[in-house]
Every structure is written in structure tokens, then in C-alpha cells.
Copies of this chain bind each other. A is one copy, B any other.
Amino acid sequence: MHLSSLASFTTLVALLSTALACDSCNGNLHRRAEHGGSGEGSGEGAGEEAEFSYLGLTGPVDWNQFAQACGDGKTQSPINVVSTMQTSAYGDSGEYADIGASGFNFTNNGHTVELFYKGQPAVLGGVEYELQRFHFHTPSEHRLDNEWFPMEVHFVHQGKNDPSKIAVVGIFIDTTGEKSDPMMERLATYLQSIGKVGDTVVATHVPLQGVRTAITNAKKFTYPGSLTTPPCTEGVTWYVSNTILDIAPKDYRAFKKVLGFNSRTLQADPGKQNIVEFAAQFLPSVNNRVQAKKQRRATKWTA
């Protein structure tokens, strides 16, 4: 490994460590106090301030203010996954044991509800990982041949031998009107207890067979992407499963009530110009303002 690569990996690990421990990362993101107030972010309890939101001016278009990759990164997630994309090599497995009686923390961090189920082994693309956590988005962040889904769950992994390697497995969840996947049914029973930001409950006896099926030897589309929340760090390997979990409308509504809308705007295909950057270049009013600002600066400097 070159020194420059090592340096960038170190930075990546630092950024990802921040992102991975979202329950303690408030100090690392620019607080959006000026955007706070009523109606801003369902699930963000009174008096709480979010570092970022999914709403209007405080939504994804704002993230580049405090996390540059969100505004000009070139391999940003989520994307529209198409059937012609590369799929993962045979032999993947997420061998997660069902969550037992001792349980794991299930937390509302104001952006999602997240389960810190660490240390479970997974092999993805021939690399050994350990699960760090998993969380939910409504509606889905990725799309599959342009179809969106009511929910998506993200299983975030860190390399076992190289902690700079991050792999996320995304699994779509669809409202079928039938019985929920056992994990979804079980987790839904906790949602009333974690309705406010910072609420945590210990989730026990969570069956994970549906997830294991969706990961182990299932067809998964893979691409180089990013975290879908600030700091939008790139260098993340994505695996989006073609196997979809079911959720009954009752459980789905329970999740949606707590999550609100927490899905980032669809990003451009990897390597294409960032969509925020793309939007900017065609705005004459912005260009005028930029020029006026430069003019003011120039005047000041020469005065």
C-alpha cells in the first residue's frame, strides 16, 4: 500500500468511525440550530436539534454545507440499481445468529431507528467483515430498475482484518398485505418505546432468518458508493439484495410513524457529476450572486 493510500484510508476510518457511532457524533457535525423548531423532523423531540434533516432547505441539498462530499462527491449513494449491474461473487454469507434473550440496543437517533448488533460475521465479495449495526429508511433509498419500495434496511459492516473496509448490505422491504418477516414483526413491537430522539430499548429474541436468506448466496448488485447520510463518505462497497423482505401494513405504519421520511435524494450513477453540483451550474441567479460576491471582495481588497 502506498503512503498516500494509507493516509486516505486513515482519514476514511476516522470519518467512518464517526459515522458508525452516530449516537455520539453530534459534536462532529455542524449543528443546524438555525433550522430548528416545530415541524422540523418528525421524531425529533422538543428541544432536540438535529445535525441534518430530510426537509426542504435543511434536507439533502443542505448537507454539502457541512460535508463537502455530499455536494461534490462522485460515487454517492443511493443510486438506481439496474439488472445489468455487476452482482456479487458466489459464496457470500451473513451468518447472523438470531438475537437472543440478552438482546441489543435499539435506538432512535433522530434520523433512523438503529440496532447496534455488533460482531456478527459476514463474508461479502470474498472479504471477511463484522456487522456493526443496522437501521431503516422509509421510503427505500435505492431503487431497483427504478422501482422504489416502502422501506429499506442497511446492514453496516467493517472489515475484520482491515477496519478501513466498509460494506453495507441494503435489503428492500415491501408492503405485501401478508404476514411480516419475523424480524420486522418483532422490531415493530418496540417502536412505541423509542418514539423520541435518544430513546433506547433493549431488543431481544429477534429472528434473523429472513435477512440471512436475503444475504447468503442471494443475488446482490454491488457498486462503489458512499454513506447516505452526512458526511457522505465515499469508499463504501454496497451490496443491494434482489431478495425482498415482507412487511404487513400494520407494522409498516408503525415504522413509518417513528421514522418519518428519511430517504436521501437519488444520486447520479457512480463517476457522474454530483446532482447538487449539477443543479448549481445552470442557475444564472447563483452565478450572478457569486460574481457579485467576488466583485465585493475584489473591491475590498483593492481599497
Q: Which of B146, B248, B282 contacts A64 (CB 8 A)?
A: B282
**A250 CB contacts on chain B under 8 angstroms:** 177
Residue of B nearest to A44 (CB): B146
Q: Are A277 and B286 in contact (CB under 8 A)?
A: yes
| A225 in the interface (beta carbon within 8 A) | no
Inter-chain CA distance A61–B277, complex, in Å, is: 9
Q: Are A283 and B64 in contact (CB under 8 A)?
A: yes
Pick the interface stretch among A103-111, A124-132, A208-216, A257-265: A257-265
Residue of B nearest to A149 (CB): B256
Q: Which of B68, B148, B285, B290 contacts A287 (CB 8 A)?
A: B290
| A182 in the interface (beta carbon within 8 A) | no
Tell me how many chains of this kind the complex includes: 2
Inter-chain CA distance A138–B143, complex, in Å, is: 13
| A4 in the interface (beta carbon within 8 A) | no
**Chain A residues numbered 78-137 whose CB sits less than 8 Å from any CB in chain B:** 79-80, 82, 84
Q: Are A72 and B277 in contact (CB under 8 A)?
A: no
Residue of B nearest to A267 (CB): B56
The count of residues in chain A whose C-beta lies closer than 8 Å to any C-beta of chain B is 67
**A65 CB contacts on chain B under 8 angstroms:** 282
Least Cβ distance of A265 to chain B in Å? 6
| A197 in the interface (beta carbon within 8 A) | no
Residue of B nearest to A78 (CB): B56
Q: Are B277 and A285 in contact (CB under 8 A)?
A: yes
Pick the interface stretch among A6-14, A35-43, A155-163, A229-237: A35-43
Q: Are A278 and B57 in contact (CB under 8 A)?
A: yes
Q: Are B281 and A290 in contact (CB under 8 A)?
A: yes
Q: Are B72 and A285 in contact (CB under 8 A)?
A: yes
**A146 CB contacts on chain B under 8 angstroms:** 39-42, 55, 260-261
29 CB < 8 A contacts A-B: A38-B82, A38-B84, A39-B84, A39-B146, A41-B146, A55-B80, A56-B80, A60-B265, A61-B278, A64-B279, A64-B283, A65-B282, A139-B139, A146-B260, A150-B150, A150-B175, A175-B175, A176-B253, A261-B266, A276-B279, A276-B283, A277-B285, A279-B279, A279-B280, A280-B283, A280-B286, A281-B286, A281-B290, A291-B294
A148-B261, A150-B150 provided; 13 other pairs, C-beta below 8 A?
A: A38-B82, A41-B146, A56-B267, A59-B265, A61-B265, A62-B278, A64-B282, A72-B285, A175-B252, A177-B177, A277-B283, A280-B283, A281-B286
